[in-house]
Amino acid sequence: MQTKKVLIIDDEEDFGFLMTEFFSKKGYQVFVASSIASGLQILKNENPEFIFLDNNLPDGFGWSETDFILLNYPQSRLNLISAMEVPKTSASSFTILYKPFIQDELKKIFI
């Protein structure tokens, strides 16, 4: 059985560490990127099953890449994360999680 992959695109080092710990303990292979550019490169190379994409990144707004990701990586489950309120959307192709969130939220949705 092939190990499932998780990509976390977030520039908060502590958040990346906590997410890595959570998913690694569940047997997932975890990749962390701190910018859009590095995240998209990992996405291209690894084709993860799950993507956690922050909006406010050093090289731009992560959510500006949602259409590209949904179109080119339909097998990946896209999860947008934010510490700020998110505009209402009718899109059902992704989940929005608000920081801070607790492990139980991840367990219910993704595991």
Cβ atoms of residues 5 and 46 within 8 Å:
yes
| pLDDT mean values, one per 10 residues, the chain (111 residues) | 89 91 92 97 96 92 88 91 61 63 61 52
Topology annotation, domain 17-110: Rossmann fold (3.40.50)
**Beta strand 29-33 with 5-9: parallel, antiparallel or unpaired?**
parallel
| pTM score | 0.83
Q: Which residues of 36-48 are buried (b: 16+ CB within 10 A; e: fewer)?
A: beebbebbeeeeb
Cβ atoms of residues 58 and 35 within 8 Å:
yes
pLDDT computed for residue 90 by the predictor: 46
> How far apart (Å, rounded) are the C-alpha atoms in residues 79 and 45?
19
pLDDT computed for residue 76 by the predictor: 92
